[in-house]
Structure 1
Amino acid sequence: MSKKDLSRRDFLKTTGIATGTLVGGGLIGGLIGFGSNKNNSSNSDKNASKDQAANTNSKGKMFFTTDKEFEILSNATERIFPKDDLGAGAIDLGVPYFIDHQLAGNYGSNSREYMQGPFYAGEATQGYQSRLTRAEIFKQGVGKLEAEAQKRFKNGFSSLDDKQMDEILTAFQKGEVAMSGVTSAFFFTLLRSATIEGAYADPMYGGNLNMEGWKMKGFPGHQMSYINVIEEDKFQKIAPKPLGQH
């Protein structure tokens, strides 16, 4: 297989990154823009995907107050985890709803974390150093995605083509976009992590709709036990089960 024919999802599937094994160091983010011509889709395709995700998720939005903000978030997550021949992308998996719901809860408010000063610029090896909550960072980050789209292309982020979206997301990943109280690189790291989590978390949290993320990886979900097949010589394909289905 030639390098240019390797899609982002192929890379995720064969390395185990998507299940959290190797996430970090910009590996997922470094794939932004890689093979984008192969996965280009029209705005009508994106809108159809958003409608499908909305129809399969009855909880609705809990954090983002406008459709425009939610649409920007949706398109950004889709570029990080795009739909392709191997399966659903972030929008069809309900990832935007997963992130929205998480931001409306303890994750967004950092309620279980120490958030007092002093605040200094952290080293690359350190974790969360911002005075801002995740909710504040995402709110600002989504606004900055829109502002950067207007600045570079005189158009809204959700109206850009895939290559243009990738250019902006790559700029965020590299820390090239000015943000207040946090770097754009840190926002991108949060966005990327939340996208992957939404694709593979238990469906009870709003993402991984119909367990499609698990099915792509062949992950069996939450089984009570494997005692009935543990001594089998043949490889076992087990239908996934979510929490609460036992």
Structure 2
Amino acid sequence: MAEKNVENSPDQSRRSFLKYTGTAIGGVVVGGVIGSAISGGFTKKSTTPTPSPSPSASPQAQAGMDYNRAPMFFNQAQLQITEAAAERIFPKDESGPGATELGVAFYIDHQLASPWGVNARTYRTGPFVKGEATQGDYLSIQRHELITMGLQSMEETSKSKYTKSFVELAPEEQDAILTSMEKGEINVVNGVTGKTFFNQFRVLVMEGVYSDPLYGGNKDMQGWKMRKYPGNQMSYTNIMDKDQFAVMEPRSLHDHFVH
């Protein structure tokens, strides 16, 4: 039987490769992480100056960006109509910012993109019977369909009545269309009136003004600050014994996550 040639075995060849790679091909390996470990470079300071980060990548610039204000459901036209309509329902005045500055349109957009927008936890089996005036409608369409079709009806009404897009109308003209929706004078689809759309839309606007900023609206907690609402505080023990109203800097759920 021939004697096994250990020197030429695969394992020996691999060991030889690893042994000599660092010296024979030093420019490739020694210059990298393995080479740094071999030469003690993990504790050695590099003589190559570290390039300074660009202004766009600075922490200060990143901190000023609000990634929560990005559409997840609406297209650009729908987002603009939503923003314009929400501003008429909650306009800016001497008390503070309006729906636009508070990011309400993004709150509505995020809600429609969520399971809530497709009625994920709602009983959805018919018959879909028109309810009494005190009951409201049992909708045969999903919430995101109600809102998008309502916005489309507003846009069509605007173009037929004023020959302009809703976002191009004067405030009083926008109010006139919203009033018609509120009164049920404009149909949305399948017997669903503008009143149903308006009631749901108005609720969403108010939620966007006063909900936690984590959900896209109430930017910088300005909605809470207008009401002197403290937001999500961990404890009130430090003010429980005070007789006068205590104004607290509001806190978001996000504050508890990052601290």
| Same fold at TM > 0.5 | yes
1:209 partnered with 2:209: no
Contact 2:69 2:103 in 1 (8 A): no
Give the Cα separation in 2 of the matches to 1:152 and 1:86: 33
- How many residues align structurally? 191
1:234 deviation in Å? 3.2
Gaps of 5+ in 2: 1-64
Q: Is 1:193 paired with 2:190?
A: no
Counterpart-to-counterpart distance in 2, 1:114 and 1:165: 35
Higher RCO (Cα < 8 Å, 6 or more apart): 1
- Number of the residue aligned with 1:238: 248
Distance apart, 1:56 and its partner CA = 4.4
Q: For residue 175 of structure 1, report the CA deviation from its aligned partner.
A: 0.1
| 1:80-229 to 2 correspondences below 5 Å | 80-181=89-190, 182-229=192-239
CA deviation string 1:150-180 (max 9, x = no partner): 1111111000000000000000000000221
User: Which aligned runs of 4 or more in structure 1 are off by greater than 3 angstroms?
Assistant: 55-59
Aligned-pair RMSD on alpha carbons? 1.3
CA distance in structure 1 between the aligned counterparts of 2:91 and 2:66, rounded to whole angstroms: 18
For 1:130, give the aligned amino acid: L
Deviation for aligned residue 1:244: 3.5
1:115-145 Cα deviation digits (max 9, x unpaired): 1111111112214511000100111011111
Are residue 61 (structure 1) and residue 71 (structure 2) matched?
yes
**How do residues 15-54 of structure 1 correspond to structure 2 at under 5 angstroms?**
none
- Of 102-111 and 233-242, the range deviating more from structure 2: 233-242
Contact 2:130–2:137 (CA<8 Å) still a contact in 1?
no
Identity %: 42
Query: In 1, Cα distance between the equivalents of 2:137 and 2:100?
Result: 27
1:57·1:94 contact (CA, 8 Å) conserved in 2?
A: no
Flag structure 1 segments of 5+ consecutive residues without an equivalent: 1-54
Q: Give TM-score scaled by structure 1 length.
A: 0.75
C-alpha separation between the residues in 2 aligned to 1:136 and 1:235?
Answer: 44
State the shift of 1:102 in Å.
0.3
